[in-house]
Amino acid sequence: MTWLMLTIISAITGALTRILQKVLLSDKQSDPVAFAFIFQLSVAGLFLVYTFLAGTFDQPNLQGLIPNILIMTLFYCVGNLFTFNAFKLAEASEVSIIFTSSAVWSALSAVVLLGENLNITKISGILIVLSGVIFINLRKSKWNLNKGHLFAFMGAMLFGLAFTNDAYIIGRYKNVASYMVLAFALPAITSLLFKPRAISSVKYFLEIKIFGKILLCGVFYALSAITIFTAYKMGGQASIISSIQQTSLIFTVMMGYLFLGEKDNMRNKLIGMGLSFMGVLMLV
């Protein structure tokens, strides 16, 4: 399987994750910090079980990477808190538009940290992909700027930078899933340091029906994470992979049309999907 196919799989499973996260966070009883804790810990647990069952658990020498591990923990922890709060305070479409900027942060940091080269064609492809994603979410209504939009921007920046940092760390690992245990467990535990009393809200997510949805969401997110980083290990550029992964919104639109009957704003959606597809062709 090629790195491009893995990136597309990551985009599809990422789209499924977003839909389920929005459902889980729509209830007023759901606390974003408690959700960040239980969700990330669940994904880490899934990866841990997988690596032990497959006999592929790998813990390499991380000497010299402690600053990168600390950056990973902090950026994902705070990035998740920003993102989950953004979904609670702003429209999902508006959050999605702002979150496309994560690809720009990934591309810029990949040039600096990973030494990747971006020519005019690739830069144009990235911009066209992002334009398509933004076009899909455009609405005629005026935005009423609120904290949710600021949270979305901060979350996008931290996730974009964290992805490049992950790509740098993952070079030490033979097995991607082993790193995922660390990448999800540490931010999960750290999230409670920002709001210790959120532990009392965790019980809401432990109800059988709700926890079942969290596990399902965790499975999709685990697939999205492992495929995107495996794509990088197979030779894909972090700056390109991150941009293509933004097309997950296209799959969200398609699923909404097929399964939820969401047919509003189809003109913008079709134009946006066409632009994104054209941009992807310029990147591969």
Q: Which residues contact 121 (CB under 8 A, 6 or more apart)?
A: 282
pLDDT at 257: 66
More confident residue, 29 or 242: 242
Q: Is the pLDDT of residue 136 over 90?
A: no
Digit-coded pLDDT (tens) for 210-230: 889 899 999 999 999 999 999
Rounded CA gap, 205 and 24, in Å? 9
pLDDT at 24: 80
Distance CA 31, CA 185 (A): 19
Taking residues 244-256, report their average pLDDT. 74
The three-class DSSP label of residue 253 is helix
pTM passes above 0.85: no
Could you tell me the residue ranges of all domains in the chain? 3-283
Answer yes or no: is pLDDT of 170 > 90: no
